[in-house]
Structure 1
Amino acid sequence: MHDRLANLLGAASLAVTDLALAGATRAAGVSASGAGALVVLAHAPGLGVTELGRRVGLTQSAAARMLDGLEASGLARRDRGTGRGVQVRLTPAGEKAVGAMLTARGAPLAAALAGLDADERDLLAGLLAKLLTRLYAEIGDADVMCRLCDRGCCTDGAVCPVGQAERDALGGGEPAPAAP
């Protein structure tokens, strides 16, 4: 028999994911992995295709095909790196698409939270931070967990719980300064 709370969490997680992904993918006209790749590149320009694929959950060959589509849409480009390496960067259109995607992703999330009062929102924020810290222990990769995050809003005046969990796991422990 499954726990009711776990079932409720599963249903809420799936609904929130569906709403957030629908907004993000529709805003840029890309797949879920394409949306993740664009947001990842906004925070880590110059990644190689293999690393980009790892962060969005794709094999190197699948990442290369996804990148072909992003290039064809004018959202990303491959640049020569050192040796045989290739660096992936957003185009100006890709940078604009990331802004539109994060706005479109955030709107249904804000709407979902609109029914909560300030105390409930604070309580939920604390519980989600604790849950994300625990999930980091399972997943072990902040880049993967935060591939569609609006990192600015998560660290504005606060410490990202996923980033902190990763620093703790790597032995750094000290929180990064909050963004100004």
Structure 2
Amino acid sequence: MHDSRTGNLLGAAALAVTDLTLADTTGTAGLSASGAAALVALATAPTISVTDLGRRVGLSQSAAARMVDSLQAAGLVERRPGAGREVAVQLTPRGRRTARDMLASRTKVLTDVLDVLNDRERETLAALLAKVLPRLYERIGSADLLCRLCDRRSCTTDATCPVGQAERDDRL
């Protein structure tokens, strides 16, 4: 049986958490959502091509190039020669600090949202989300895109990331 109330509650919570997280994360850095996601992606993959960076944040190659131009003008990234004709992008020291600050801001927002739950409720929610996230991966098809603003270390320390596991299972 499908419970429209549960779906509606989930939808409202998802939008509210997204709005709060993006407002704090992008506000911390003064960046767009894709710019913020790019810094977080670069924090975990120190040097990647402009094209790959665009794929990870859901942008076309030309839009990614414009985003990188903006991030470079702000002193957050620098371009380097890549393989062949590719141009690689990496964080500057300022970009690393900004990515770290954005993740800290994101953590603060999410911690505040979850503070209403006791430990047992948090464990239950974590188990439910671990069940729902592989379904979301099936729909989105990219762990990088789905987890573009994730603090990956918090999801993989002493646990298996359900999205990463879904991606590995998909490759089999």
TM-score in terms of structure 1 length = 0.92
Residue 157 of structure 1 aligns to a residue whose secondary structure is: coil
- How many residues are aligned here? 170
Give the distance between the partners of 2:150 and 2:59, measured in 1 at CA: 18
Aligned-pair identity (%): 59
Match of 1:175 in 2: none
> Which residue is equivalent to 2:163?
162
- Counterpart of 1:103 in structure 2 is 104
Whole-Å Cα distance in 2 between the matches of residues 20 and 106 of structure 1? 9
What is the one-letter code of the residue matched to 1:32? Answer: A
Deviates more, 1:30-39 or 1:45-54: 45-54
Alpha-carbon distance between aligned partners in 1 of 2:155 and 2:169, rounded to the nearest angstrom: 18
CA distance in 1, matches of 2:83, 2:38: 22
Q: Which runs of 5+ in 1 are unaligned?
A: 172-180
Name the aligned partner's letter for residue 81 of structure 1: G
- Return the offset for 1:5: 1.0
Q: What is the match of residue 48 of structure 1? A: 49
- Quick one: distance in 2 between partners of 1:21 and 1:33? 10
Alignment of 1:88-127 (within 5 A): 88-127=89-128
| Structure with a larger share of its residues in helix | 2
Which residue type is aligned with residue 94 of structure 2? A
* 1:39-86: CA deviation from partner (whole Å, max 9, x where unpaired): 011111221111111111111111111111100110001101132211
- Match of 1:79, SS? strand
* TM-aligned CA deviation for residue 157 of structure 1: 0.7
CA distance in 2, matches of 1:109, 1:19: 9
Gapped regions of structure 2 (runs ≥ 5): none
TM-score of the two chains, using structure 2 as the length reference: 0.96
1:15-164 to 2 correspondences below 5 Å = 15-164=16-165
RMSD: 1.0
- TM superposition outliers: structure 1 runs of 4+ over 3 Å: none
The 3-state SS of whatever aligns with 1:47 is: strand
